[in-house]
Amino acid sequence: VRKPKGPTSAAVLNLLKERLLAEAGVQTNGNKKNQVLKIGHGGTLDSAATGVLVVGIGKGTKMLGTMLAGSKKYTAIGMLGKATDTLDATGKVTEEKPYDQVTKGDLENVLQKFTGDIMQVPPLYSALKKDGERLSTLMKRGEAVEAKPARPVRVYSLSLQQFQPPLFTLDVECGGGFYVRSLVSDIGKELSTCATVQELTRTKQGPFTLEEHALQEDKWTIDEIAQSLEHCTALLLGEPARKKLKTEHPGETAVIC
C-alpha cells in the first residue's frame, strides 16, 4: 500500500484491516482470539513519512521476511541550518547554525563519505526497543534514553538531486536498519552546520516500488488488492497470487497476499 503522511504504520494496518473486514461482512466483536484476518507490515515507516509500506495478509505475513530481503530506496528533502530532537520537521528545534558557506560542491563531496559500508547511530525517536518498549514511546513520556551505539549499515547509492539552500534533495538506496533521518543529521554536522529531514518518501522496498505496486488509500479494497496481486505474481516467489482460505465459520471471507 501507499502509506499516507501522518498515521503510524500500525494505524495504517488497522485502517486497512477494518476496511477489508467490513467489505467482507465479517463481524469481529473486538475478540482478538477469533480474528479471521491476520495482517502485518514488513518494516516500520516514520509517521511523518509517506511511500511504500509492504503489507502481508493471511499467509502472506509469513512471506514478508523473504520478500523484503532486498534494498530500500528513499527520496528525502533536508533543510540546512536547523536541528530538531526527532531529526525531522515534527520535532522541537534544538539548534540553529549558519549554512551560507555550504555549496553544491561541498554537499556532493560529503555524500561520498556516507556511501558504502558505514557506521551509523540510530535516532532516539525510533522503533528500536529498550526493555520491550520503543525508544520513541519512552522519549514521549519524558524518560531518559541513552543513544544506541553506532552500528554497521550499508548505502548502495547516494546522490544529490537538487540544491536550493537551505533545502536539498537526496536519493538514497540502502540496506536494512538504515535511518535517513540520521543520515541527513550527520551530513549537516559534516558540513559544520546542522540539518533535519523535511520530507521523506520511501520509493522502493524489496521488489515493490511506489510507482508500479503501491495502492492509494482509495483503492484499499478486496478487488483492487486481488488485481494488484495479479500484477505482482512474478514477485511472489512461486506462491499463487490468490488462494481460498478455510475459515472457522461458514460465510466468512479471508484475504491472502
Task: State how far the Cα of 73 lies from the Cα of 205, in Å rounded to an integer.
Answer: 7
Contacts of 145 (CB under 8 A, 6+ apart): 124, 130, 135, 138, 139
- φ, ψ (nearest 5 deg) of residue 186: -65, -35
In a domain? residue 242: no
- Give the residue numbers spanning the domain of 186: 72-205
Q: What is the pLDDT of residues 55-75, one digit of tens each?
A: 988 888 888 887 778 899 999
Q: Which residues are catalytic?
A: 46
Same domain, 80 and 63: no
Task: State how far the Cα of 102 lies from the Cα of 166, in Å rounded to an integer.
Answer: 9
Quick one: pLDDT at residue 228?
Answer: 85
In a domain? residue 20: yes
Same domain, 195 and 79: yes
Quick one: pLDDT at residue 256?
Answer: 36
Q: Angle at which helices 104-111 and 180-190 pack, to 10 degrees?
A: 120
Same domain, 86 and 121: yes
In a domain? residue 244: no
pLDDT of 138 > 80? The answer is: no
Same domain, 55 and 163: no
Same domain, 121 and 216: no
Contacts of 242 (CB under 8 A, 6+ apart): 226, 229, 256
pTM of the model: 0.83
Task: State how far the Cα of 154 lies from the Cα of 117, in Å rounded to an integer.
Answer: 5
Same domain, 46 and 32: yes
Pairing of strands 2-3, 167-174: unpaired
Residue 257, number of CB atoms within 10 A of its CB? 23
pLDDT of 245 > 50? The answer is: no
In a domain? residue 24: yes
Contacts of 213 (CB under 8 A, 6+ apart): 52, 228, 231, 232, 235
Average pLDDT in the 158-184 region? 96
Model confidence band, residue 26 (pLDDT cutoffs 50, 70, 90)? confident
**What's the structural domain count of the chain?**
2
Same domain, 128 and 217: no
Q: What percentage of the chain carries pLDDT values higher than 70?
A: 78
Higher per-residue pLDDT: 124 or 135: 124
Same domain, 132 and 199: yes
Cell of 27: 463481524
Same domain, 91 and 50: no
Same domain, 99 and 16: no
Average predicted confidence (pLDDT) for the chain: 83
